[in-house]
Amino acid sequence: MQKIYLDHAATTAVLPEVVEKMLPYFSGVYGNASSQHFYGREAQKALDEARDTIAKIINAHPSEVYFTSGGTEADNWAMKGIARAYESKGKHVITTAIEHPAVLGACKDLERVGFEVSYIGVNKNGVIDLDKLVSEIRSDTILISCMYANNEIGTIQPIEQIAKIAKERNIAFFTDAVQAMPVIDIDVKKVGMDAMSFSSHKFNGPKGIGVLYVRNGLKIKSMVSGGHQERTKRGGTSNVALAVGMAEALRLNRLTLKQDYAYVEGLRDYFVKRVEEEIPFAYLNGDRQNRVPSNADFSFEFIEGESILFSLDLEGIAVSSGSACSSGSLDPSHVLLAIGVEEALAHGSIRFSFGKDNTKEQVDYTVDKLKEIISRLRAMSPLYKLNSEIKKV
Amino acid sequence: MYNEKVMEAFKNPKNVGEIENYDGIGVVGNASCGDIMQITIKVENNVIVDAKFKTFGCAAAVATSSTATDMVIGMTLEEALEVTNKKVVEVLEGLPPQKIHCSVLAEEAIKKAIEDYRSKQGK
């Protein structure tokens, strides 16, 4: 059976070139980058180069690039570290209803220690309402956070405008760019955010490493104490091999970004077109224009997402589901509910996320199998019958 | 997360559909929770001679519907009322903890179908 990977928003394979580049830093150049002897200096040099590479790509200064264990840590650190650094100014934070659980979890933590958090809603396409954002700003607002691109429905937010709104009012602005970094050539100076998180494994780098960009001049409290690494902000022995891998993966990503973007977008659009033409009661979630090229998130009416996921799995196709059943809770995706998808329909949602390793043949195979699966599950669904009877009346 | 037995029951479920001129029907769950199960039964001489299901739900919901209907076919109504969710889970050799509620739905749907049959019989 062929295997088709359509879950690139979850993670991606590490490129062989990236593995190659990392290998010397496990048992060859194994020194602690903090050591003063030549073993350490060699490791430090590789770490500096990795930081420089990443800084250059996002147009930051190397001293603004902090390595973390990944996106979740970077999100937590940004939210809590910035809020804590500015709490003498105020304790009000603004974020959106569709953030990644890492940001929402950090917000809950902040609420527990006396911060107040406002969650801005989004329109039916998942784009935040800037007027609403402005109206929520108070004299004690110290931090605004809004993700660059959504992980479930792929919607890209008006980040430059939000950065401008924040800057004019002297409020810190953080963006979670985990889903955006693999597909958008982000220039931090041009966009003007104060902090930004991104994760290596979303762009064919290794898992377990990410970056928090912190603009020089922005205050942020350290979350991991006890070491002088990362300019004393994030203690812990530097993971040189992973940093080298992350930098190489991002460098390679940028070399072919334009053509890869166009190719993946073409595949995705072809998939969306076929699904919309050939499968009734299938609804694309998210914005059609302001959207990452890799994402197609569909709600299939009358059936449940996890059943679709496992049926595709049995055919060798890997996708992910916004259904409650796959997460272990009884509530469907907070993102789909926030864009106004009805609960029952939200339960029937599947995220397909494409990558440059996918082919048109794979897309065709997927749609063919998907059609069969949807028909089979609908034939099994009591809602489908009820609904078709309602339609007859 | 699912064992092979559950996946097999999900892949090739038995007793899918709705019995024409059924003697009893039970519908439980609701769409906003992501689970609806409908079971129809045919009863002759106090014995369930046929049972079919339609389910809107996850793989565990489909597997438990299939297994539960399979178990009650050939049982007397009294025997079928003793089919608990625990017994359904046993036949499936276990379900992940967060999926146990699916097996509860199967038990409830059968009980409701029998109640429906009995109320129609005027008992």
- pLDDT of A303: 94
Question: Given a cut of 80, is residue A327 above it in pLDDT?
Answer: no
Q: How far is CA A198 from the centre of its chain?
A: 8
Least confident piece of the model among A68-77, A84-93, A327-336, B41-50:
A327-336
Query: Which candidate, A199, A34, A167, places its Cα nearest to that of A102?
Result: A199
At CA B22, angle to CA B18 and CA B24, rounded to 5? 105
**CATH entry 3.40.640.10 includes domain A16-255:** yes
- pLDDT of A105: 96
A residues 335..364 contacting B (CB < 8 A): 342-344, 347
The mean pLDDT value for A341-359 works out to: 95
Q: Which of A380, A388, A390 to mutate to test the interface with B (most CBs of B within 10 A)?
A: A380
The mean pLDDT value for A18-35 works out to: 97
The mean pLDDT value for A46-68 works out to: 98
Within an 8 Å CB–CB cutoff, is residue A304 touching chain B?
Answer: yes
The mean pLDDT value for A130-157 works out to: 97
In percent, how much of chain A has pLDDT > 90? 92
CB atoms within 10 A of CB A157: 23
Q: Å from B46 to nearest chain A CA? A: 26
Q: How far apart are CA A277 and CA A286, in angstroms?
A: 18
Per CB distance under 8 Å, which residues of B are interface residues toward A? 2, 7, 10-11, 13, 16, 18, 27, 31-38, 54-62, 98-99
Beta-carbon contacts of B66 under 8 Å, excluding residues fewer than 6 positions away, are B9, B10, B13, B14, B15, B16, B53
Question: Given a cut of 80, is residue A64 above it in pLDDT?
Answer: yes
Q: What CA dihedral angle connects A232, A210, A55 and A179, to 10 degrees?
A: -140
Question: Given a cut of 80, is residue A386 above it in pLDDT?
Answer: no
Instruction: Round the CA-based radius of gyration of chain A to a whole number and report it.
Output: 22
Q: How far apart are CA B54 and CA A196, in angstroms?
A: 48
- pLDDT of A392: 43
Q: How far apart are CA B27 and CA A178, in angstroms?
A: 43
What pLDDT digit, counting tens, does each position of B55-100 carry? 999 999 999 999 999 999 999 999 999 999 999 999 999 999 888 8
Whether residue B57 and residue A379 make contact (CB cut-off 8 A), yes or no, is no
A107 is catalytic: no
Topology given in CATH for the domain delimited by A257-392:
Aspartate Aminotransferase, domain 1 (3.90.1150)
Which of B16, B56, B98 comes nearest A303 by C-beta? B56
The mean pLDDT value for A32-45 works out to: 96
Report the CATH number of the B4-121 domain. 3.90.1010.10
- pLDDT of A42: 97
Question: Given a cut of 90, is residue A70 above it in pLDDT?
Answer: yes
Question: Given a cut of 50, is residue A234 above it in pLDDT?
Answer: yes
- pLDDT of A329: 61
Whether residue A310 and residue B18 make contact (CB cut-off 8 A), yes or no, is no
Beta-carbon contacts of A78 under 8 Å, excluding residues fewer than 6 positions away, are A106, A145, A174, A176, A195, A197, A212, A214, A220
Question: Given a cut of 90, is residue B21 above it in pLDDT?
Answer: yes
The catalytic position among A325, A337, A344, A345 is: A325
Whether residue B33 and residue A303 make contact (CB cut-off 8 A), yes or no, is no
Q: How far apart are CA B82 and CA A362, in angstroms?
A: 48
Q: How far apart are CA A123 and CA A131, in angstroms?
A: 12
Chains A, B: CB contacts under 8 A, how many? Answer: 68
The catalytic position among B33, B90, B115, B119 is: B33
Domain ranges of chain A: 16-255, 257-392
Least confident piece of the model among A218-222, A315-319, A321-325, B109-113:
A321-325
10 Å CB burial of residue A201 (0-12, 13-18, 19+) is: buried
Contacts of A383 in chain B (CB under 8 A): 31, 36, 56
Given a contact cutoff of 8 angstroms between Cβ atoms, the answer to whether B40 and B18 are in contact is yes
B102 is catalytic: yes
Two structure tokens written together for A52: 């420089």
Q: How far apart are CA A10 and CA A6, in angstroms?
A: 9
- pLDDT of A389: 57
Q: Å from B17 to nearest chain A CA? A: 6
- pLDDT of B101: 86
The mean pLDDT value for A169-198 works out to: 98
Contacts of B33 in chain A (CB under 8 A): 324, 330, 343
- pLDDT of A390: 53
A271 φ/ψ angles, rounded to the nearest 5 degrees: -60, -50
Alpha helices in A32-146, H assignment, sequence order: 38-58, 71-85, 101-112, 130-136
Which of B11, B32, B34 comes nearest A325 by C-beta? B34
What pLDDT digit, counting tens, does each position of B28-56 carry? 998 877 889 999 999 999 999 999 999 99
Name the pLDDT band for B102 (thresholds 50, 70, 90). confident
Q: How far apart are CA B28 and CA B46, in angstroms?
A: 23
β partners of residue B56:
B36
As separate numbers, helices (DSSP H) first and strands (DSSP E) second, chain B gives 5, 3
Given a contact cutoff of 8 angstroms between Cβ atoms, the answer to whether B34 and A303 are in contact is no
The mean pLDDT value for A49-67 works out to: 98
- Residue B54, phi-psi category: left (phi > 0), alpha (psi -120 to 50), beta (remainder): beta
- pLDDT of A323: 61
Name the pLDDT band for A167 (thresholds 50, 70, 90). very high
| CA distances to A53, A110, A158, B37 from A345, in Å | 44, 32, 27, 17
Q: Å from B31 to nearest chain A CA? A: 5
Given a contact cutoff of 8 angstroms between Cβ atoms, the answer to whether A201 and A69 are in contact is no
A391 vs A336 pLDDT, higher one: A336
Question: Given a cut of 50, is residue A393 above it in pLDDT?
Answer: no
Domain ranges of chain B: 4-121
The mean predicted confidence, pLDDT, of chain A is 95
What pLDDT digit, counting tens, does each position of A241-280 carry? 999 999 999 999 999 999 999 999 999 999 999 999 999 9
Q: Å from A384 to nearest chain B CA? A: 9
Q: What CA dihedral angle connects B92, B93, B98 and B104, to 10 degrees?
A: 50
Q: Would you say the C-alpha torsion A218, A220, A226, A227 has a positive or negative sign?
A: negative
